[in-house]
Amino acid sequence: MPTHRTSADVAPEHAWLKSTCSDPGQNCVEVAETPTGIGVRDSKNPTGPALLLTPEIWQHFINYLA
């Protein structure tokens, strides 16, 4: 189950990444690898809420998108 936290609680600012193919209008998500899972946040609100997904949930998400 995803855990809701602030972006700062999930990972330090330098850990967040987004695709180089991202929309220049900031309509993107950013991800950060952490010791306990993968953080996901909205690029328009980098100090706002973030999800912390387990590696298993992250893999299901990626498989769904593929």
Residues β-bridged to residue 30? 41
| pLDDT at position 14 | 87
* Predicted model pTM: 0.80
pLDDT computed for residue 3 by the predictor: 62
The structural domains of the chain, with segments of one domain joined by +, span 3-65
Distance CA 7, CA 64 (A): 24
Digit-coded pLDDT (tens) for 14-50: 899 988 887 777 678 899 999 989 999 998 888 899 9
Res 2 pLDDT > 80? no
> Is-contact 62 45, C-beta < 8 A?
no
**pLDDT over threshold 80, residue 1:** no
- Quote the CA–CA distance of 24 and 37 in Å, as a whole number: 27
